[in-house]
Structure 1
Amino acid sequence: MHVKYVLMFVETEQYRKEWEAKDQAERDAAFEKVGRWFAEHAASITHSTQLHPAAAATTVRLESGYEPIVTDGPFLEGKEVVSGYVEAELDDLDEALRMARSWPACPVVEVRPAL
């Protein structure tokens, strides 16, 4: 039986600065590595997406007894931002961690089992 895991790719401020400093050839090489990673794990990945930057977020705050408050921007201003994710059907957490360890892009991957 497989378990569904979500691997969330997290950019740091330093990673974003380094990415923006890359020339097009360096970016193309990085995209190629990511493409290979997706190809290597295609049999397990059930869904994936890249997110727009956190500045594009709209947050809805739902507090008991109050009207919902809608604000432009992310839920939390942080030094780390989820930039995308994959859902994968895997045997266990060890397999999810092996997959996460091989991610060639942003420096943090949060792994969570999904319901």
Structure 2
Amino acid sequence: MQTFWERVILLLQSPSVVELASMLEVKRSTLSSWIHTDRRPPMKVLMKISKLTGLNLNQLEYGFDYKDNEEEEVAENLPQQKKQLSAMIEDLNEEELIILKSFLPYLRKQSLRNRTRKERS
């Protein structure tokens, strides 16, 4: 099984500690110490690694195939939520449908804004 740092180096395709330190904006000696002792960096650096690799912290820690139970539960409940929404929409009158139709783009825009903010953090 790969170590945390082996996964990071593989994912970021970083051939040297100097290059990886530059990518993570830390001193080479500090990064080298973390790698040789298999220590985790501060949260700010972990979040940068997560952003650069596209993996969540659990996947970085436990491997690429790690699945978060909460994510699976949400995915399992999605069809049921869609059915419930569909039933609610069926009961709306024409005026309520017009309001809902105008509200959905707003929700989508807010969702995109929130995702963008999270990605920048």
Q: TM-score, normalised by structure 2?
A: 0.25
Hey, which of these two has a bigger chunk of strand by percent?
1
Structure number with the bigger relative contact order (C-alpha 8 A, sep ≥ 6) is: 1
Bigger CA radius of gyration: 2
Structure with greater helix percent? 2
